[in-house]
Structure 1
Amino acid sequence: MDRIRTISPVDGQIYVERTMASAGDISASIARAEKAQSYWQALPLSARKVFCSKAVEYLVANKRVIAEEITWMMGRPIAFSGGEVDGVEERARHMIAIAEDSLASIALPDKPGFNRYIKRVPLGTVFVIAPWNYPYLTAINAIIPALLAGNTVVLKHSAQTPLCAERLFEAFQHVGLPEGVFQYLHLSHADTEKVIQATQVRHVAFTGSVPGGAMVEKAVAGRFISSGLELGGKDPAYIRKDADIETAVETVIDGAFFNSGQSCCGIERLYIHQSIYDEVIEKSVEVVRRYQLGRPDDTSTTLGPLVKTGAADFVRGQVDEAIRQGAMPLIDQSEFAMHKPGTPYLAPQLLSHVNHSMRVMHEETFGPVLGVMSVADDHEALSLMNDSEFGLTAAVFTQDQQVGERLADDIDTGTVFLNRCDYLDPGLAWVGVKNSGRGCTLSQVGFEMLTRPKSYHIKKPGGDK
């Protein structure tokens, strides 16, 4: 039987080993979800909220263990791993708080002799496919609202972070969630497609690569079910001439290099007004040189390894190619002792003299590299920011809010930040355009992806036609 082996980027050793689900396991899981559906959706929302709240409490209570597992599975420094649990709590609490209003029926104006309203009813079984880079946050974005809306959920987590699926299941088991309402499966790619095509599955929530999203779209083709796709990004930032330079630099560098740059919404392109270009570059180099690249289980480490050596080699290839094409590296990577070719440990890099013909400026990097360009004005900045096949987030730094909001209107992206970046406010819709995906999670709008409208047109006894 096939097995999952999670190689830790910390030391290159097997950290987790699990058996993949068999055909029988898959069939039984889907059958349990279908059986549980009618009971779960009939349960009052107040009861569903209690189950979700208590499960979140369990995760928070186990924050230390969860943080350590995140660090060893995907390499995030232990100093930051616990923050993921904090984020899960924030998002889940918000979604629980807004569930009643978000799922409320829509009442139409009075019409003599009739009652008319629209209910938001659950879709059925939701299949969540979660990635390794923010393993709990990306999963919880779909799991909590799906359950609150009355759907059952089957989770398939990345082979790099299988313990996350098990911990989530453990949390719901601990609070007595009825059998079949939330389950997980360790699956191969082929079996993942089979689950997507199961007749009982009515929605697929996928977070991952563009090719992965294309696989989902192909698998659901002709099934007339919905899917939510959160895919890649090549997110830009623009520092205007009137920006608070100190704050902008600190914010952008953190947005580019947090999680070793392995964020869909991480900043990968920076455009700077020419009048402040040299000052921004100088300060950026200073900030980057403060990072401590090292083993992520060391509390002093601020930059951990990439998830695997192959990922680091991909980034190295982008950078080396850009340098051959004329880019200038601004960071001496030899200053970072743990920077070693042939390992997942990769020092951060800033690249100037780049242009959009280089892969590093148009292909998703997913690593600690930031390409930097000087621009003459807002018009040039907007043109370059929009010159991408992706559109997840963008950031503008300016002290003129009115101008910033006008620029935001013209950026083709799902979220625009002013004077910040790389943060998911659970009250706002998380959405991408172009190759960054389709659909929405979080906010009141996110619940609409996990329900369908059902209209009720009731003629009262003795009412008019």
Structure 2
Amino acid sequence: MNSIRLISPVDGSLYAERAIASSSALEQTLAAATQAQRAWRELSIGQRTVYCLKAVDAMLAMKDEIVPELAWQMGRPVRFGAGELRGFEERARHMIGIAESALADVVPEPKEGFRRYIRREPLGTVLVVAPWNYPYLTAVNAIIPALMAGNAVLLKHASQTLLVGERFAQAFERAGLPAGLFHNLVLDHGQTATLIASGQVQQVNFTGSVEGGRLMESAAAGHFIGVGLELGGKDPAYVRADADLAHAVENLVDGSFFNSGQSCCGIERIYVDKALYPAFVEGFVELTKQYVLGSPLDEATTLGPLVRNSAAEFVRGQIAEAKARGAKALIAPSLFAADAPGTAYMAPQVLTGVNHEMAVMRDESFGPVVGIMPVDGDAHAIALMNDSPYGLSAAIWTEDLGAAERIGQQLETGTVFMNRCDYLDPALAWTGVKHTGRGATLSRLGYEHLTRPKSFHLRQQL
């Protein structure tokens, strides 16, 4: 295969096709990145800031083109497309704004006759392998801080969002970023693995499936390079007896079905105190029925297609398996005229009577389905929330801050939310545990994974 073909989930048509980079072109790209980075690392953080802020502005100026492109590429309804760019801007500006302090020398207590400090140096060339589901948000987590830290960046975007990589390249070109520092690459899986194993990249930041993460680690094995991984998720929510019921219902419906459930930190399983369970389920179902499933190009649509037909069939299979094991489906697909088996258009589904023997409560769904279980209290909820191979985020609905912190301490997760979900705060580290991955992006800690420490121990002549 000499090209990557992007098939749109909107209508199954070929939306874009790009030639895969040749071996010689890739070699030239790597050489250019290495050369450009040598000069870039010598610039001050203030000088790098000017270029990166201009790139952010250039990206935002393309909003009217980007929003419909997103709909065609991965099915995001146009009414929500601008929201991704707002998140892109929030994260980019935050990481640019904290670079000076995050990259400052670490100076220990004074010691007479010595000057001592730890300096954070750039790694060299950083490869970012980005996913399709939030193609701007996930990519910017690494791209902007990598550049701000003094690195060159290679971006390999998902085949489903080919045009996003081109938008990043256009933004940096319009910002006047020195040639060679940023490259958008069109590669197949084999080329990506070869690139990682080439010894010419010093860090890989990958967001994708667990299996994809294993392939990244395998390619990097023995080359002593850093690998940051954000992989699968099966994020839980717990609604305590003291929760604001209406607020919990509203936020958890959105957290479960936004982006057609195709969110790394989307809510995939909900545990509700038995005292609130009947009212919660009733409210959740009624609000879910208000979604509008249809073409993402229609402003009225609030639920677009999944990224591809096979993704929808996978989720339908989970639902069928759960029902065969005794689960009850509370949403009639016939309520959504656009729902059509065999296509990427799929009605949202709410399941009760579920348990952890069912795949829908155990394995990542990445689609518009959620199971809801009653629990007897905190201990019961904690046990179920931790009963997963994943650990990206967990959400607790309660009026008791102390209880949220106490429960959060016992949860095996990267982020604990209280009374919200499905959000990345750029001031906090975005990280996970277990099969969700390793490393961190965003916050000051994100810079630590894009630099290496160098200690200076300087003895002065007395």
Give the TM-score normalised by structure 1. 0.99
User: Counterpart of 2:350?
Assistant: 350
User: Counterpart of 1:90?
Assistant: 90
User: Counterpart of 2:458?
Assistant: 458
State the Cα distance separating 1:358 from its structure 2 match.
0.4
Structure 1 residue runs without a partner (length 5+): none
Distance 1:304 1:188 in 2: 28
Amino acid at match of 1:73: Q
User: Counterpart of 1:394?
Assistant: 394
Distance 1:254 1:56 in 2: 28
Paired-residue identity, %: 56
Amino acid at match of 2:349: Q
User: Counterpart of 1:335?
Assistant: 335
User: Counterpart of 1:170?
Assistant: 170
User: Counterpart of 2:433?
Assistant: 433
Distance 1:388 1:289 in 2: 29
State the Cα distance separating 1:404 from its structure 2 match.
1.3
State the Cα distance separating 1:200 from its structure 2 match.
1.6
1:412 aligned counterpart, secondary structure: coil
How do residues 384-423 of structure 1 correspond to structure 2 at under 5 angstroms?
384-423=384-423
2:350 aligned counterpart, secondary structure: strand
Amino acid at match of 1:94: H
Q: How many correspondences in the alignment? A: 462
State the Cα distance separating 1:457 from its structure 2 match.
1.0
Distance 1:61 1:185 in 2: 23
Is 1:22 aligned to residue 22 of structure 2? yes
State the Cα distance separating 1:82 from its structure 2 match.
1.1
Distance 1:140 1:321 in 2: 37
Is 1:155 aligned to residue 155 of structure 2? yes
State the Cα distance separating 1:454 from its structure 2 match.
0.2
State the Cα distance separating 1:422 from its structure 2 match.
0.4
Amino acid at match of 2:277: Y
Distance 2:39 2:260 in 1: 44
Once the two structures are superposed, residues 254-293 of structure 1 have per-residue CA deviations (whole angstroms, 9 ceiling, x without a partner) of 0010000000100000001111110001000111000000
User: Counterpart of 2:69?
Assistant: 69
Distance 1:305 1:183 in 2: 31
Distance 1:7 1:351 in 2: 31
State the Cα distance separating 1:433 from its structure 2 match.
0.2
Amino acid at match of 2:321: E
Amino acid at match of 2:348: P
User: Counterpart of 2:225?
Assistant: 225
Distance 2:196 2:96 in 1: 27
Distance 2:371 2:264 in 1: 16
Once the two structures are superposed, residues 95-147 of structure 1 have per-residue CA deviations (whole angstroms, 9 ceiling, x without a partner) of 01100000001112221211111100000100000000000100000000000
Once the two structures are superposed, residues 199-252 of structure 1 have per-residue CA deviations (whole angstroms, 9 ceiling, x without a partner) of 120000000000000001111111111110000100000001110000001101
Amino acid at match of 1:391: G
Structure 2 residue runs without a partner (length 5+): none
Distance 2:108 2:386 in 1: 41
Distance 2:223 2:364 in 1: 31
Distance 1:64 1:253 in 2: 28
Once the two structures are superposed, residues 48-107 of structure 1 have per-residue CA deviations (whole angstroms, 9 ceiling, x without a partner) of 111110000011111111111111100000000111111110000000110000000111
Amino acid at match of 1:248: A
Amino acid at match of 1:124: G
Distance 2:235 2:301 in 1: 25
User: Counterpart of 1:45?
Assistant: 45
RMSD: 0.7
User: Counterpart of 2:366?
Assistant: 366
1:95 aligned counterpart, secondary structure: helix
2:202 aligned counterpart, secondary structure: strand
User: Counterpart of 2:107?
Assistant: 107
1:161 aligned counterpart, secondary structure: helix
1:176 aligned counterpart, secondary structure: coil
Distance 2:114 2:379 in 1: 55
Distance 1:252 1:68 in 2: 27
Distance 1:6 1:395 in 2: 35
Amino acid at match of 1:267: I
User: Counterpart of 1:31?
Assistant: 31
Distance 1:391 1:75 in 2: 27
2:52 aligned counterpart, secondary structure: helix
Once the two structures are superposed, residues 444-464 of structure 1 have per-residue CA deviations (whole angstroms, 9 ceiling, x without a partner) of 01000000100111122x23x
Give the TM-score normalised by structure 2. 0.99
